[in-house]
Amino acid sequence: MAEKNVTPCDKPTHRLFKDREGYKVGMLTVNSLAGYILTKQHSKRYYWNCLCECGGSNVVAATHLSNGRISNCGCIRRKHGDIDSTEYKSWCSMKTRCSATIGKSPYKELGICKAWDTSYSQFLKDMGRKPTTAHTIDRKDGTKGYSPDNCKWSTRKEQANNRRNNIRITLNGVTLNIMQWTKKMGFNAGLIYDRINYGWTPEKAIMTPVRKKCR
């Protein structure tokens, strides 16, 4: 439908127009501006010609490129029938994060293993289905990229415990982050952070009991 109704045009020169040429999302790479469609509010909705990794092509609205709603030419639906699954959406989001060409993305340097980058089927085979819809893809080691040996499905709470900025402390052979230590010791996390910021060693900050206030 978009291909039939799009009115061809040159790239606008006003500052609000975002040039998407060369932008990558999922399996798509933006090739050129296709044109625009007038909305009911008489504003212009721009569409872009995109090339797919499978060799196909698609005409995609700029908004759908931005939110990742469309990330292939339809080949996944034809081949797998799995395009509406949360696993496929996670795969597309992963690829978009690592291939973003607009703005800065810390994931781009980490990358995706070749097998996953080129095949959703292989990604699904390695990861399996999500235990629940609340689970998302999580990297076990935040300093490494996306690969079978570094990824698992996790809840938000599990991922919070795995963030790169969590301070991990080893005491008596046990390694936990601060949130896990505070739960184990019955302390408030803010107290531990404050103690460390005041110059206490992590061991002292965790092992020193909280003084009881005198009444």
How far, in Å, CA of 88 to CA of 17, rounded? Answer: 30
Examine the domain organization and report whether 77 and 154 are in the same domain.
yes
Residue 51 lies in a domain: yes
Q: Are 32 and 21 a contacting pair, CB within 8 Å?
A: yes
How far, in Å, CA of 27 to CA of 117, rounded? Answer: 9
Tell me the mean pLDDT per 10 residues along the chain, length 215: 72 88 86 90 90 88 82 75 82 79 60 87 92 90 86 85 65 81 78 74 82 58
Residue 99 lies in a domain: yes
Q: How many domains does the chain have?
A: 2
Examine the domain organization and report whether 120 and 187 are in the same domain.
no
What is the largest distance, in Å, between two alpha-carbon atoms of the chain? 79
Examine the domain organization and report whether 149 and 194 are in the same domain.
no
Backbone angles phi, psi at 154, to 5 degrees: -140, 155
Q: Are 196 and 202 a contacting pair, CB within 8 Å?
A: yes
- Among 121, 142, 160, the domain-final residue is 160
Q: What is the predicted pLDDT for the residue at 51?
A: 92
Examine the domain organization and report whether 42 and 134 are in the same domain.
yes
Q: What is the predicted pLDDT for the residue at 153?
A: 95
Residue 212 lies in a domain: no
Examine the domain organization and report whether 77 and 124 are in the same domain.
yes
Examine the domain organization and report whether 120 and 63 are in the same domain.
yes
How far, in Å, CA of 147 to CA of 155, rounded? Answer: 18
Indicate the pairing of strand 28-38 with strand 44-52: antiparallel
Examine the domain organization and report whether 108 and 201 are in the same domain.
no
Q: Are 52 and 12 a contacting pair, CB within 8 Å?
A: no
Q: Are 113 and 146 a contacting pair, CB within 8 Å?
A: yes
Residue 116 lies in a domain: yes
Residue 180 lies in a domain: yes
Residue 215 lies in a domain: no
Does the pTM exceed 0.75? no
Burial class of residue 195 (count of CB atoms within 10 Å of its CB; 0-12, 13-18, 19+): middle
Six token digits for residue 9: 């045009």
Q: Which helix (H) or strand (E) holds 181?
A: helix 178-185
Six token digits for residue 149: 């040996």
Residue 214 lies in a domain: no
Six token digits for residue 94: 């992963």
Examine the domain organization and report whether 67 and 127 are in the same domain.
yes
Examine the domain organization and report whether 122 and 191 are in the same domain.
no
- Among 143, 160, 177, the domain-final residue is 160
Burial class of residue 82 (count of CB atoms within 10 Å of its CB; 0-12, 13-18, 19+): middle
Examine the domain organization and report whether 114 and 182 are in the same domain.
no
Examine the domain organization and report whether 153 and 176 are in the same domain.
no
Query: Residue 196 is part of which domain span?
Result: 168-207
Residue 117 lies in a domain: yes
Examine the domain organization and report whether 30 and 86 are in the same domain.
yes
